[in-house]
C-alpha cells in the first residue's frame, strides 16, 4: 500500500507535483480568515515596511549629484548599486533566520538595521563610512520577502494571497508621490534629508511591526550555517557587482576579472558546503522541479520588465526632431510613463492576489506574463508615440504587479511552511538577479548600435538597436511563460487526481 501524506495523497505524487496549501488549521489557532479592521492595520504596517525598502533603493538616486560632489568621487555606480548589492548579501542570512527565529523578529531586525544604516549615511564624514551605512541600509531589501512569508503564516490561504498582492504592489502608490514629497526635504536639508527621512520611516515601521503584527506560529529550530551564509551572500553580492559595473569598467579588465573570481569562488564553496552539511543556508537538494521552474520564470519576467523601464527612461530623453525613428523627448513624458507604470503595478498586484486566493497563483502569473509580452511588443510602435507608450507602460506595470505577487504566492505555496522564509528570500534574489542581467544585456545592445556625430547631451542609439532591445525583452517575456505553462499542467493533473478521490480521502 502506498504511503500517504496527511491529506491522503501518495507521497510519490506530491514529490512530483508539489502543490499544497500554504497551511491549514493545524498551523496555528489564530489565523486571520477574512478582511477586517485588524487585517487592514496589518496591511498598512507591512506596506510601510516595504516602503522603507523602496526608499532605501530609490531615493538616494534623487541626490546622486550632491553625493558625488560632497564625497568628491566619480563612482556613481557604487553609490547607486551599493544598497542593492548589500541586499543580496543580507537576504540568505535573514531568510534562514526568519524560519528559525520567526518572521516578525527578522523583520524588526531588518528595519532596525536599515535605520542604523540611514543614520550612518546621514553622519558619514568619509566615503567609506557612507558605504558602510549603505551596506546596513541594504538589509531593507529583505523586508519585502519577510512581509510575504509572515503574511502566509498569520492569515488563511485565500486572505494571505490577496494580502500579498497588496504588500508587493502597494508601495508603488508611494512611488508615484515620493518625488513630490522628497523634493522639499532635499531643498531644505540637502542630500542628508533623504537619509533622515529614511531613518525616521524605518523606526516608525519597526514600531508598527512591534506593536501590531503577531509573530509567525511556525519555527524550524536548528542553527544557522553562518559560513554558508557568508559564502552565499558574499558571492552573490560580488557577482552582482561585476554584472553591474563591468560594462563601465570593462568586462575583461584586470579589476573586473578579479571581482568576478571573488564572486564565483565563494559561490562554488557555498555549493560544495550545502551538499555536505545537514542544515545549509539554502538546501539546494530540497529545491523541487516546480520551485525551480517558478524561479526561472520570475527571473526572466522581472528582467524583461526592468529592462523596459530602463528603455522608457532612455527614449524620453531623445527628441523626435533628431529623426532617429523614435523618441518621446520631454520631462513630462517620463513622469507620465512612470506614473502609469506605478499605477499599473498596484492594480496588477491587488488583482493577482485576489485571483490567486480563488483559483491559485499559477493562472495570474501566466496572465501577467501574457500582458507583459503584449505590452513589450506594443512598444515597438510606442517608442515614437507617447499615448501608446503610456498605455504600454500601464500594461507593463499591471504585468509587473501580477508577476511579483503571484511569484511570491506560487513559490511559497510550493514549500512546506517551515521553509517559506527561505524560499521567499530566494524569490527576491532571483528577481534582482534577472533585473540586473537583462538590463546589462539591453545596455550592451544599445551601446553596440550607438549613433555618433550628433550634438546631443546623452548618447543615443539607432532605431534598429532600440527595436532589437524591445524584441529581446519581448522574447524573454514569452520564454518566461514556458515554465509556468509546464507547472500549470502539473497543477491541473494534481487537482484532477485529487478530485477523483472519494470525499473522505480528500479531507
Instruction: For 118-156, write each residue's pLDDT tens digit.
Output: 999 999 999 899 999 999 999 999 999 999 999 999 998
Please tell me the predicted confidence (pLDDT) of residue 3: 37
pLDDT in tens, 154-195: 998 889 999 999 999 888 877 777 777 888 888 888 889 999
**pLDDT score of 436:** 82
Q: What size, in residues, is the chain? A: 507
The whole-chain average pLDDT of the chain stands at 84
Which band of pLDDT confidence, cut at 50, 70 and 90, is reported for residue 493? Answer: low
The terminus-to-terminus CA distance of the chain in angstroms comes to 19
Residue 483: the pLDDT is: 94
Please report the pLDDT score of residue 454 as a whole number.
67
Confidence (pLDDT) at 375: 97
pLDDT tens-place string over residues 289-324: 899 999 999 999 999 998 998 888 888 878 888 888
Report DSSP letters for 79-91, one per residue: HHHHHHHHHHHHH
Percent of the chain whose pLDDT exceeds 90:
49
pLDDT of residue 426: 92
Answer whether residue 273 shows pLDDT above 90: yes
**What's residue 177's pLDDT?**
77
For residue 501, pLDDT over 50 is answered with: no
pLDDT over 70 (residue 226): yes
- 18/113 Cα distance (integer angstroms): 36
Q: What is the average pLDDT across 363-382?
A: 96
* Exposure letters 189-208 (e unless 16+ CB within 10 A, then b): eebbbbbebbbebbbbbbeb
Q: Is 399 a residue whose pLDDT tops 90? A: yes
Q: Establish how many alpha carbons lie within 13 A of residue 318's alpha carbon, considering only the half-sphere containing its beta carbon.
A: 25
In the structure, what pLDDT confidence band is assigned to residue 221 with cuts at 50, 70 and 90?
confident
> What residue spans of 18-75 are helical by DSSP H?
37-58, 64-70
What is the structure's pLDDT at 335?
78
Tell me the torsion sign for CA atoms 281, 81, 249, 310. Answer: positive
CA nearest to 400, candidates 165, 57, 175, 174: 165
- Average confidence (pLDDT) over 46-58: 89
Long-range CB pairs of 116-122 (<8 Å, 24+ gap) are: 117/56, 118/56, 118/195, 118/196, 118/198, 118/199, 118/202, 119/195, 119/199, 121/195, 121/198, 122/192, 122/195, 122/196, 122/199
More confident residue, 25 or 423: 423
Q: Which helix (H) or strand (E) holds 461?
A: strand 460-461
Predicted confidence band of residue 27 (pLDDT cuts 50, 70, 90): very low
Q: Average of pLDDT values for 436-455? A: 83
User: Cβ(174)–Cβ(54) under 8 Å?
Assistant: yes
Q: Model pTM?
A: 0.85
Structure confidence at residue 215 as a pLDDT band (50, 70, 90): very high
Question: What DSSP designation does 139 have?
Answer: G
Residues 184-203: tens digit of each pLDDT: 888 888 889 999 999 999 99
Eight-state DSSP code of residue 60: G
* pLDDT of 7 strictly over 50: no
Band the pLDDT of 14: cuts 50, 70, 90: very low
pLDDT confidence of 109, banded at 50, 70, 90?
Answer: very high
Q: 34: how many CB neighbours lie within 10 A of its CB?
A: 9
**Of 103-112, 323-332, 430-439, 450-459, which gets the smallest average pLDDT?**
450-459
Find, among 481, 446, 442, the residue nearest to 461 by Cα.
Answer: 446
- The span from the CA of 83 to the CA of 115, in Å, is 13
Which residues, in sequence order, are CB contacts of 181 under 8 Å at separation 6+? none
DSSP code of 148? Answer: H
Distance CA 38, CA 40 (A): 5
Q: Give helix 386-413 / helix 362-382 axis angle, nearest 10°.
A: 160
Residue 432 or residue 401, greater confidence:
401
pLDDT band at residue 30, thresholds of 50, 70 and 90? low
> pLDDT at residue 472 above 90?
yes
Question: Which residues, listed in sequence order, are joined to residue 185 by a DSSP beta bridge?
Answer: none
Q: How far apart are CA 495 and CA 500, in angstroms?
A: 8
Query: What pLDDT does residue 415 have?
Result: 87
Give the pLDDT score at 453.
67
Do the Cβ atoms of 365 and 402 come closer than 8 Å?
yes
Beta carbons within 8 Å of 46's beta carbon, 6+ residues apart: 147, 150, 151, 167, 209, 213
Supply the pLDDT for residue 23.
Answer: 39
d(CA 415, CA 424): 10
Residue 213 to residue 198: CA distance in whole angstroms: 21
Q: Which residue reads 521552474 in cell numbers? A: 293
b/e for 101-138, b at 16 or more Cβ within 10 A?
A: bbbbbbbbbbbbbbbbbbbbbbebeebeebbbbbbbbb
Q: Contacts by 74-83 with C-beta closer than 8 Å and gap 24+? A: 77/244, 77/245, 77/248, 78/131, 78/245, 79/134, 81/240, 81/241, 81/244, 81/245, 82/131, 82/134, 82/135, 82/138, 83/56, 83/57, 83/134, 83/135, 83/137, 83/138, 83/140, 83/141
Return the top range by mean pLDDT from 104-108, 274-278, 333-337: 104-108
Amino acid at each position: 500500500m502506498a504511503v500517504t501524506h496527511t491529506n491522503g495523497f501518495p507521497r510519490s505524487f506530491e514529490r512530483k507535483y508539489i502543490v499544497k496549501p500554504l497551511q491549514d488549521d493545524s498551523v496555528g489557532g489564530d489565523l486571520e480568515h477574512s478582511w477586517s479592521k485588524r487585517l487592514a492595520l496589518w496591511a498598512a504596517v507591512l506596506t510601510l515596511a516595504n516602503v522603507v525598502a523602496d526608499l532605501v533603493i530609490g531615493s538616494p538616486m534623487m541626490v546622486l549629484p550632491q553625493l558625488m560632489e560632497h564625497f568628491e568621487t566619480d563612482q556613481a555606480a557604487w553609490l547607486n548599486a551599493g544598497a542593492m548589492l548589500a541586499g543580496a548579501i543580507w537576504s540568505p542570512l535573514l531568510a534562514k533566520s526568519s524560519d528559525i527565529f520567526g518572521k516578525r523578529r527578522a523583520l524588526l531586525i531588518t528595519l532596525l538595521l536599515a535605520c542604523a544604516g540611514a543614520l550612518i549615511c546621514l553622519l558619514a564624514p568619509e566615503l567609506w563610512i557612507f558605504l558602510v551605512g549603505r551596506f546596513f541600509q541594504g538589509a531593507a531589501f529583505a523586508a519585502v520577502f519577510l512581509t510575504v512569508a509572515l503574511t502566509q503564516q498569520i492569515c488563511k490561504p485565500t486572505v494571505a494571497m490577496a494580502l500579498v498582492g497588496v504588500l508587493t504592489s502597494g508601495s508603488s502608490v508611494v512611488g508615484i508621490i515620493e518625488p513630490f514629497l522628497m523634493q522639499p526635504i532635499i531643498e531644505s536639508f540637502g542630500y542628508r534629508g533623504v537619509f533622515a527621512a529614511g531613518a525616521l520611516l524605518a523606526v516608525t515601521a519597526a514600531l508598527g511591526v512591534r506593536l501590531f503584527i503577531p509573530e509567525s506560529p511556525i519555527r524550524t529550530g536548528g542553527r544557522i550555517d553562518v559560513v554558508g551564509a557568508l559564502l552565499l551572500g558574499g558571492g552573490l553580492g560580488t557577482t552582482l557587482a561585476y554584472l553591474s559595473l563591468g560594462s563601465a569598467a570593462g568586462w575583461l579588465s584586470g579589476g573586473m576579472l578579479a571581482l568576478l573570481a571573488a564572486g564565483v569562488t565563494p559561490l562554488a564553496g557555498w555549493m560544495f558546503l550545502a551538499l555536505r552539511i545537514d542544515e545549509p543556508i539554502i538546501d539546494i537538494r530540497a529545491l523541487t522541479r516546480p520551485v525551480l521552474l517558478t524561479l526561472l520564470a520570475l527571473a526572466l519576467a522581472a528582467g524583461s520588465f526592468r529592462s523596459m523601464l530602463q528603455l522608457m527612461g532612455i527614449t524620453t530623453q531623445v527628441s523626435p526632431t533628431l529623426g532617429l525613428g523614435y523618441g518621446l523627448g520631454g520631462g513630462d513624458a517620463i513622469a507620465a510613463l512612470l506614473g502609469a507604470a506605478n499605477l499599473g503595478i498596484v492594480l496588477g498586484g491587488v488583482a493577482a492576489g485576489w485571483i490567486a486566493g480563488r483559483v491559485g497563483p499559477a493562472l495570474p502569473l501566466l496572465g501577467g506574463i501574457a500582458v507583459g509580452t503584449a505590452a513589450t511588443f506594443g512598444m515597438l510602435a510606442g517608442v515614437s508615440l507617447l499615448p501608446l507608450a503610456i498605455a504600454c507602460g500601464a500594461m507593463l506595470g499591471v504585468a509587473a504587479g501580477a508577476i511579483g505577487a503571484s511569484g511570491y504566492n506560487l513559490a511559497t505555496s510550493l514549500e512546506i511552511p517551515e521553509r517559506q522564509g527561505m524560499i521567499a528570500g530566494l524569490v527576491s534574489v532571483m528577481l534582482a538577479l534577472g533585473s540586473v542581467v537583462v538590463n546589462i544585456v539591453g545596455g550592451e545592445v544599445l551601446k553596440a548600435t550607438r549613433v555618433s556625430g550628433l550634438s546631443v547631451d546623452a548618447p543615443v542609439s539607432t532605431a534598429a538597436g532600440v527595436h532589437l532591445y524591445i524584441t529581446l525583452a519581448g522574447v524573454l517575456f514569452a520564454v518566461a511563460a514556458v515554465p509556468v505553462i509546464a507547472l500549470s499542467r502539473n497543477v491541473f493533473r494534481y487537482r484532477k487526481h485529487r478530485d477523483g478521490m472519494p470525499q473522505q480521502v480528500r479531507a
